[in-house]
Chain A
Amino acid sequence: MAEKVTLIVFSGEMDKALAAFNLAIGASAMGMEVSMFFTFWGLNVIKKNQRPIKSRGIMRKMLNSMNRGGSKRLPLSRFHMLGLGKWMMGKLMGDAKFPTIDEQIAIAKEAGVKFIACTTSMGIMGITRDDFITGVDSFAGVATYLADAREGKVNLFI
């Protein structure tokens, strides 16, 4: 049986998401079975870029208009500089033929990486299944993660 790798993607920043996908794609190439558990700000990574905000309640509406998420909206964790830093980083990565977040998501899915969205964060923040890109394999909680992680050889929190 293939060795398991589990990644918790807690952060919603572009650089951290890239690190997570890099690991996921690399581990798949090593013949390992990879699952990515997206929770809290990390859910922004797998949200659709274009979608209406339909959450119930004024506070959730406010949260989701300020915290729209989507692969193209993720900031840099450092030197974001109102988007200038991110633009420059994107330019450098493009010149280096480095895949974008969207491309990395596609590669990860092609490689069989399993995406899990945390239902607790979804419930608290008012995020629905419709808010996510296709390719999310399951919607689950901590028991699902831990059941995977206890069989995991490499378990990381990003």
Chain B
Amino acid sequence: MKADASLDCIGLYCPMPIYNTSKKIKELKPGQVLEVLADDEGIKEDMPAWCKTTGNELLGIEEEKGQYKAYVRKGKKEE
């Protein structure tokens, strides 16, 4: 999947991946896609929950060898 920006959260535990995502997404324009790399498996549940609450769209989460890539499209609603 193609992303406009990437955020490395490898080695970080909750709540840092979500917190860093919330900061990084502010740099993007609505419609742009952020790729978040993480290895805490909580991300599989937390990223959908974060997107649902903040009005961003989760395009998908890819898993490979214990690492995750979550793709988030920035929503129109400014949180």
For the residues of A in contact with B, the DSSP-based class is loop
Given contacts A107-B19, A111-B19, contact A29 B12 (CB under 8 A): no
B11 at the interface (CB under 8 A from A): yes
A98 at the interface (CB under 8 A from B): yes
The residues of B that contact A30 with a CB separation of less than 8 Å are: 18, 22, 50, 53-54
Complex CA distance for A29 and B21, rounded to whole angstroms: 8
The 5 closest A-B pairs by CB, nearest first: A31-B79, A26-B15, A29-B22, A29-B19, A29-B18
Q: B residues near A, CB below 8 A?
A: 11-16, 18-19, 21-22, 50, 53-54, 79
Q: How many A-B residue pairs have CB under 8 A?
A: 35
- Could you tell me if B12 and A26 are in contact, using CB atoms closer than 8 angstroms? no
A97 at the interface (CB under 8 A from B): yes
- Could you tell me if B50 and A22 are in contact, using CB atoms closer than 8 angstroms? no
Given contacts A96-B13, A97-B11, A98-B13, contact A26 B53 (CB under 8 A): no
Given contacts A26-B14, A96-B13, A98-B13, contact A31 B19 (CB under 8 A): no
Interface residues of A in 13-28 (CB under 8 A from B): 22, 25-26, 28
How far apart are B41's CB and chain A's nearest CB, in angstroms?
Answer: 14
The residues of B that contact A111 with a CB separation of less than 8 Å are: 19
How far apart are B12's CB and chain A's nearest CB, in angstroms?
Answer: 6
- Could you tell me if A22 and B11 are in contact, using CB atoms closer than 8 angstroms? no
A90 at the interface (CB under 8 A from B): no
Closest to A98 in B: B13
The residues of B that contact A107 with a CB separation of less than 8 Å are: 19
Closest to A93 in B: B13
Closest to A26 in B: B15
The residues of B that contact A25 with a CB separation of less than 8 Å are: 15, 19
Complex CA distance for A74 and B19, rounded to whole angstroms: 25
B-contact bits for A75-111, CB 8 A (1 contact / 0 none): 0000000000000000000001111000000010001
How far apart are A7's CB and chain B's nearest CB, in angstroms?
Answer: 14
Closest to B50 in A: A30
Complex CA distance for A2 and B11, rounded to whole angstroms: 30
